[in-house]
Amino acid sequence: MKHLLVRSGKSPFHLPTRTEVIQQDLIGTNAGNLVFSDATHKLLQVPGATEVTSNGLRTDSSKERAARINEEYDAFVVPLANAFRPSFEPSLNRLSKLIEQLKIPVVVIGVGAQAGTDYDTERLKAIEPAVKRFMKAVLKRSASVGVRGELTADYLKELGYKGKDVDIIGCPSMFLHGDTFPEIRLPEGGITDASRIAINISPGAPKVGPIAEIAQRTYERFADLTYYAQNLTDAELLLWGDTTAEKGQPAELPNQTAHGLLRDDKMRLPTDPYRWMAELREHDFAFGTRIHGNITALLAGTPAVVLCHDSRTLELCRYFGIPYEMLADQPADMDPAELYEKADFAGLQNGHQERWERFAQFLDRNGLQDTYTHGDRGAAFEERMAALDLPPSMRVWDGSDDGANRYRVAWLHERAENVRKRQDAAARRIGELKERNEELTEQVGKLEKQLAGLERRVAAMDKRPLGRLGGIFKGRGGQG
């Protein structure tokens, strides 16, 4: 039996509470991470041949942890998203430090560089040493590195990595069903005001195009609309709420309870990909800037279109044939019905087999078996998932007892206790500084007295007659 360690927030079979998801950040700040990590778990679990364990997302790069991994596992599998970006540099360096200590194979699946839609990687110059360190560590332990698309491949080529070092494989999330892709259900009559719509929004997208205005108009038009949020901050907003509605504070984006999508309880945040897919299966159309928000819809057979606002979304759409439009080109009054009508899913489905073969060959080249080629095509995994009581997506807290009040009280108590401890520590520090100040003031007083004494002595010496020695010099001067 081969034992694999996979970098992921949690095992697909672990059903944490909402509060555990938030407290431990099991989604890695973004629920989309669960989609590709769960897919990786499913793909690599080959009954009787391979066992998969989640390592979590926090990297312990200590010698002790590295030694345990070397002893207990046969390979370390690292599915990643847009890891080549400045904000991820500390995490990337921690990963490199851990990998440098490993003696087992290390396989990176789906790493990507992040830039704008113009693919300009100039902003990545500062992290080149970190990227090179990571690539060097991984390539010593694997045949190649799997990347998301052509941007990342070209970026690594510019850094000196050859074709054999890099394989374009996309994202493992798209291979959740292996060599087949679900048939996309096209709603009869297209999209109408009565259609069930799902929308998703990235935090940085409003800087690129009018996604806020598009979301507002979609909210006003479609009564059956769900906004699927993904960030940890969104989860905290749903659990805690805020006072923006009571203040009459306007909200441009659905990141405050004053926004209509929250006031009308139309916001959800998934904590499990399979339940997320089940919910999206009940919709007629999904669109927005979130790549995995739309991939999850497609995996559920629901038509979806990505509004691309950066390279990480664009390169995946181009590689997989996912329908997309550029967000920057959209008018504020964009019509979702027209967006749907323009969508062409032929490339997505017709090219899937070829892309799967490329992905499976990458795994094989790196010593990993997949369940569709070597196992039961994921049957055992799916059976186990079907037996779980998957939690519904988080929704807006209405103030009632929803089972999380104990957590809220405990969190507030801990926060108050931490504030008190910080206040006590500050008070102690202030006391210490006061004592030190008194000591220094006393020393300054003594020094001032000593200085005054020295000044008096110098003044007295200035008034003293030159005496015999002065006469000698005077006499010598007269001889000259």
Q: CB under 8 Å to 199, separation ≥6 — which residues?
A: 215, 218, 225, 226, 227, 228, 286, 287, 288
Mutual orientation of helices 291-299 and 311-320 as an angle, nearest 10°? Answer: 30
Note the pLDDT of residue 467: 55
pLDDT band at 417 (very low <50, low <70, confident <90, very high): confident
Instruction: Indicate whether 468 pLDDT > 60.
Output: no
pLDDT in the model for residue 464: 66
Structure tokens of 475? Answer: 């006499």
- Residue 12's SS3 state is coil
Give, rounded to a whole angstrom, the gap between the first and last alpha carbons of the chain.
Answer: 109
Q: Write down the pLDDT at residue 478.
A: 44
For the segment 82-98, the average pLDDT, to the nearest whole number, is 97
Return the biggest CA–CA distance within the chain: 127
For the stretch 165-177, pLDDT in tens is: 999 999 999 999 9
**Three-state DSSP class for 340?**
helix
The answer to whether the beta carbons of residues 74 and 3 sit under 8 Å apart is: yes
Q: What is the pLDDT of residues 333-392, one digit of tens each?
A: 999 999 999 999 999 999 999 999 999 999 999 999 999 999 999 999 999 999 999 999
CA dist., res. 381 & res. 13, Å (int):
9
**Phi, psi (degrees; rounded to nearest 5) at 79:** -75, 130
Helix axes 273-280, 291-299, angle to 10 degrees: 70
Mean pLDDT of 120-126: 96
Return the ∠ at Cα 214 (arms to 211 and 218), rounded to 5°: 140
The domain locations on the chain are 2-179+349-400, 197-345, 404-442
pLDDT of residue 480: 39
- Per-residue pLDDT reduced to its tens digit, 202-235: 999 999 999 999 999 999 999 999 999 999 999 9
Kind and range of the H or E run holding 374? helix 371-374
Average the pLDDT over 148-161 and give the result: 97
Q: What is the pLDDT of residue 431?
A: 86
- pLDDT for 422 equals 83
What integer pLDDT is reported at residue 479 of this predicted model? 40
Among 36, 21, 6, 15, residue whose Cα is nearest residue 404: 21
Residue 113 DSSP code: B
Could you check whether 2-179+349-400 and 197-345 share the same CATH topology?
yes
Say how many C-beta atoms besides its own lie within 10 A of residue 243's C-beta. Answer: 10
**Those residues with Cβ within 8 angstroms of residue 156's Cβ, 6 or more apart along the chain or in another chain:** 113, 131, 135, 145, 147, 165, 166
Q: Which of the pair, 39 or 417, is modelled with greater confidence?
A: 39
Buried b (16+ CB within 10 A) or exposed e, 151-163: bbbbbbeeeebee
197-345 is classed CATH 3.30.530: no
CA separation for the pair 173, 151 (Å, rounded):
19
Q: Give pLDDT, residue 428.
A: 87
111 pLDDT above the threshold of 60: yes
pLDDT more than 70, % of the chain? 96
- What would the pLDDT profile of 41-53 be if each residue is shown by its tens digit? 999 999 999 999 9
Amino acid 406 reads: R
Q: What is the CA radius of gyration of the chain?
A: 32
Average pLDDT, integer, range 286-292: 98
Residue 470 has pLDDT above 60, yes or no: no
Give pLDDT, residue 226: 98
Helix (H/G/I), strand (E/B), else coil: 47: coil
pTM given for the model = 0.87
Q: What local confidence, expressed as pLDDT, does residue 455 receive?
A: 85
Give CA–CA dist 66/94, Å, rounded: 12
In sequence order, which residues have a C-beta less than 8 Å from that of residue 353 and are 6 or more positions away? Answer: 179
Secondary structure (DSSP) of 385-450: HHTS-PPPPB----SS--S-HHHHHHHHHHHHHHHHHHHHHHHHHHHHHHHHHHHHHHHHHHHHHH
Res. 476: pLDDT tops 50: no
The H-or-E segment that residue 339 falls in is helix 336-342
- d(CA 339, CA 287) in angstroms, rounded, equals 9
Fold for 2-179+349-400, please state it.
Rossmann fold (3.40.50)
Please give the mean pLDDT across all residues of the chain. Answer: 94
Q: What's the rounded Cα separation, in Å, for the pair 477 and 466?
A: 15
Token output for 325: 């439009």
Q: How far apart are CA 155 and CA 132, in angstroms?
A: 11
